[in-house]
Amino acid sequence: MLADGTVRDTGVNDMLNWNARNFFRGPGAWNQDVSVFKYFSIAERMKLRLTADFFNATNSPMDNNPSSGTGLQDLSTQPNDPRIIQLTLRLEW
């Protein structure tokens, strides 16, 4: 029985966990980090390396876990950071 008095029937499928403490699985979450680099020749033995690191490259939002009291999700917040881009310039010889 939910907080508003309604009843929800749950079928047996892949969302069901027989452990009563963790009955439903929370939302799935994944992140993708990408790194791109390019070498530039300056002199015969000197190279310049430009690197771009993209953290959370696809900028995929994650959902919060449902509340244990009401079973509802707060969709106004996200547990993950937005996309972050880091540029690096490195001289090698």
Specify whether the CB–CB gap between 74 and 64 falls below 8 A.
yes
Domains in the chain: how many in total? 1
Q: Indicate the pLDDT class of residue 31, thresholds 50, 70 and 90.
A: confident
> Do β-strands 84-92 and 34-41 pair in parallel, antiparallel, or remain unpaired?
unpaired
Give residue-wise pLDDT tens across range 47-56: 999 999 999 8
Query: Which pLDDT score, from 0 to 100, does residue 93 have?
Result: 86
What separation in angstroms does the CA of 52 have from each of 15, 16, 33, 84, 91?
Answer: 39, 42, 11, 10, 15
Asked whether residue 29 is domain-assigned, the answer is: no
Give residue-wise pLDDT tens across range 16-26: 555 555 555 65
Mean pLDDT for the stretch of residues 37-66: 91
Q: Residue 42 sits in which domain range?
A: 34-60+81-93
Neighbour count for residue 65 (Cβ, 10 Å): 14
Asked whether residue 21 is domain-assigned, the answer is: no
